[in-house]
Structure 1
């Protein structure tokens, strides 16, 4: 769904969290009126419709912009879906209009670090890139039209509402997680992989031949499937190397853990897919200067002679 499709509808934003409030601001900035509704018995900000009145608004809505935290297994969601009420999300609305300048990353683990690495590498190559999405920065107008790339982390909750794919999609991994929200592992996988199901140009995966790669291929249509290895990027327990570009030891990075070499390889492949074969040596060198996100295997200062993570 596109933003302009909401203009003539009675729009209800379901949820008053960070993304719900961001959706309200985004629609207001586009001249589209909306009402925020919160069902259940929890507290809500001033001006938000709650209780029975909120449920009545949702049932009569011309379109609902749903916050990510509301599960698909929730009885009220199922009732609204079965009644045919159009349900979208801020992520879906934004991605539909901006897909050509987006690298989006999802996966059970590694998506935040990989997203931040993509932005860092793009910046090191002289491109303007902004980070948004599940990393804590809702998408919207602040992800400006004048940037080269919007690097967007997408959670399974956000992917579940998608009807558009980015130009480059990255799927880092798939393990059982958030199963009550999605209603089981197969539903979780299907919701995650919606990121790649609506015509991306390229999908980057760790290995096209493993279970994840096969699942992605089944939904990705004619998209180019790309892995780091197919670009000549190799990962060992102690280093990452790129044919013709050089190598980089884990000991020379700020990253901790061999798994982060895989995240770095996926980020390098995503940037290469987005820009074309750019300066691969500079891209690889940029990984060494990446500062990891807070609380991801972060070393805690200690004077007792031991390393605390």
Structure 2
């Protein structure tokens, strides 16, 4: 078989490495520039590639084409392949048959990374040989090329789920469905939700599905299905009883979790933690192991990450929040007045959903982006102080000049980062670096 892969990023390179390992003739074509790290890998394994263009004639010689998740189906080269009746699949579909261990798959508009990392943390604490892959770190295919594992914990985006064929997780988690990446789906929430729900496509009654009981889209979908995995609904609005306990009953094992055992800030993270605990318990992790490991997990970079308190003002890096729902959760995590740093590349946001929260909790808004028109227009009626800049240093100094000791500066942009930064990690790392310099300049007063 001759395999062509479109896209030479983590997904495409991982698929190429796995194909090479399995004795498949493979070629990568990327219309952009392939990063040096990936080029070194491809050369080391003698995998031919091209960059900066697509040689259509060479691509059409393929028996099968793998499309990297970032490439939309409407792209001209994909349409030409459809006309030629050359099968186009995704990396997850290609990789799935080679996985011998069990799969825990996590998707949702928000909270995927935190939940996936916590599941990994709990399984690792139990002594499982476990891999963490998918939409972060190594791709699924690259992970399989590296070795075999008892469990694969996979974070999966809507892009990765759109075209699944043979992929079937043993445990699937769908955290939530809120508007995100709608520009990819012709601004249709229904189309976006369909991609997310595709995680259920091949699941059987022997598998397990953990989901948000309060989500109407998921509930409607489940009602329309004839064959379903075993369902584990969790209501994020009523996790705790009056004593601050959550009672879990998983496969006949009952145990309780105290709110104080969860070291993550925010009500949304408490929900993510209960989903992760349920998945780990279904995988066989004992309650005693969960109790010991849970308080040791303190979250991830760029997700409500405390960076320090220059001038006794708490600064949080939530750069990963690139949509309204995620930023909404971040804003609800604080009782102190917030100076909110927002902005970037708008993804079709409906900012009106934030108006009541801003009115209640936000002291001022700092718009950080090349085009802040949409944010300013949406929030001007609130009468809050709004300043704008396209420079991070300026944004931080604006925020510090407004904030008082005991208040919060929150970088939670609700937008993509590509107007001023390489990605959300770059945005968050620059923010942390600048805050660290300010901490050295304004150390905490001695008591």
1:175 correspondence with 2:173:
no
Distance 1:106 1:220, change over 3 A: farther
Q: Please give the alpha-carbon distance, in whole angstroms, between the structure 2 residues aligned to 1:83 and 1:298.
A: 49
Higher relative contact order (CA 8 A, sep 6+): 1
Distance in 2, matches of 1:134 and 1:207, equals: 25
Q: In the alignment, what sits opposite 2:268?
A: 259
In structure 2, C-alpha distance between the alignment counterparts of 1:159 and 1:263, rounded to whole Å = 20
Q: Quick one: distance in 1 between partners of 2:107 and 2:148?
A: 24
Structure 2: gaps of 5 or more residues: 40-47, 249-253, 317-447
**Counterpart Cα distance in 2 of 1:94 and 1:52:** 26
Change (3 A) 1:141 1:29: same
Counterpart of 2:191 in structure 1 is 187
Tell me the residue number matched to 1:6: none
- Using the alignment, how far apart are the partners of 1:113 and 1:71 within structure 2? 27
- Write the deviation string for residues 24-49 of structure 1: whole angstroms up to 9, x where unpaired: 1111111111111124xx33477533
On the 8 A contact 2:60/2:86 being kept in 1, the answer is yes
**Structure 1 residues 169 and 12, CA gap change in structure 2 (3 angstroms):** same
RMSD between aligned alpha carbons?
A: 2.8
How far apart are the structure 2 equivalents of 1:218 and 1:155?
23
1:122/1:271 contact within 8 Å kept:
yes
- Aligned match for 1:212, one of 213, 218, 221: 218
Structure 1 residue runs of 5 or longer lacking an equivalent are 1-8
TM norm structure 2: 0.59
Within the alignment, does 1:241 sit opposite 2:233 as a pair?
no
For 1:82 and 1:44, the matched residues in 2 are separated by: 27
Native 8 Å contact 1:99 1:166 kept in 2: no
Q: Spell out structure 1 runs of 4+ moving beyond 6 A.
A: none
Deviation digits for residues 186-205 of structure 1 (CA, Å, limit 9, x no counterpart):
22211221111112511110
Distance 1:31 1:238, change over 3 A: farther
Greater shift in the superposed pair: 165-174 or 44-53: 44-53
Name the SS for the 2:132 alignment partner.
strand
CA contact (8 A) 2:210 2:275 kept: yes
Aligned residue pairs, count: 293
The residue that corresponds to 1:15 in the other structure is: 7
Q: List aligned pairs for 1:100-139, cutoff 5 A.
A: 101-139=102-140
Q: Is the 8 A contact 1:108 1:174 kept in 2?
A: yes
Where 1:204 maps in the other structure, the secondary structure is strand
* Counterpart-to-counterpart distance in 1, 2:310 and 2:158: 40
**Pair 1:291-2:291 in alignment:** no
Q: Are the counterparts in 1 of residues 185 and 192 from structure 2 also a CA contact under 8 Å?
A: yes
Q: 76-85 vs 288-297, which deviates more?
A: 76-85
